[in-house]
Every structure is written in structure tokens, then in C-alpha cells.
Amino acid sequence: METIYDYSVKAKNGEMESLENYKGKVLLIVNTATGCGFTPQFEGLQDLYDKYKEQGLEILDFPCNQFGNQAPGSDEEITDFCSSRYGITFPQFSKVDVNGENEEPLFTFLKSKKSGLMGSKIKWNFTKFLVDKEGNVVDRFAPTTKPEDIDKKIAALL
């Protein structure tokens, strides 16, 4: 049976990284954008990371430019923006597509485990997938769900 740990994703340095490196951790996987109405959620995501990192939370950030061209720029420019503006310290990966023929296979897998209002499509940036320590996709949250509203669910999984 296929698990999240069977996937490798492109790190922002261009090298492939196996998600097996995150085995035993609770994961919050998010497609993000730097020019979106939800961009201030980076602050809430970083707060969650600061609060739970030592207990085993990892937030995996995948910039996505598919929705209104809201993540323009290179991976390096996006990282610079996020670290200087929001103090992001959680892992950021290379820019991906989350829908369509060039979508990142990890997101195909995530959507197959937890569909949303648009079925197997992701509606917008800041869609969040919560994965337990065994690699099971346990929840999916809409872009309008604020990171702080996920706090109790993360705490329960840790």
C-alpha cells in the first residue's frame, strides 16, 4: 500500500528529498503563496511550528503559483520574502503545481486521501493537509481555516 513516505519532493536547493525523513512526525503540508489574501497565515503557521516543533511537528511549505499568479518569483525570492517578512523557519520546498497535468505527485496522493469541496481539486492556496505520525492523511483544511484553528488537532496527534 502506498504511503506518504513513498514520495520524494524537490527541495528549494533543487535536490530530491524523501518524505521518509519525516517518519514519526506529525506533518502539516500546505500549498502557499506570497501575494495572496491568506499570506498572513504564514505568521500563524510559524507560531504553530514554534509551539510544537520540539514535540514532533513539521510544517512542509510548497509554494504554488497556480492561483492568480500569487507566488511569482524564484524559490530563492519566495524564501527570502517568507523569512524576512514572517520569520519562517519550517521547511520550504520548490514551487509546485497542485492541480492539473503537471501537479506534484505528493498532492495527487494527498487529494486522493482527503477530497475537498471541489473533489480532487485544490481550490486555492493555503489548503492544508494534516498527516499523523504513521503517515496517514487524517484531515484537510480549507484556505479559510486559520492555522490557530488547527492547534487542538495537532496537539491531539502529538
E runs forming strands in the chain: 8-10, 16-18, 26-32, 57-63, 128-131, 137-141
Location of C-alpha cell 523557519 = 89
pLDDT at 69: 85
More confident residue, 142 or 115: 142
C-alpha 59/C-alpha 12 separation (Å) is 15
- Does residue 123 contact residue 134 with C-beta atoms inside 8 Å? no
pLDDT value of residue 71: 84
4-157: in CATH 3.40.1190.10: no
Q: Which of 4, 29, 36, 59 is catalytic?
A: 36
36 catalytically annotated: yes
Q: Give the type of residue at 8.
A: S
pTM of the model: 0.93
Torsions phi, psi for 34 (to 5 deg):
-90, -15
In the chain, where the domains are located: 4-157
Q: For residue range 3-58, list pLDDT tens digits in order.
A: 899 999 999 888 999 999 999 999 999 999 988 888 999 999 999 999 999 999 99
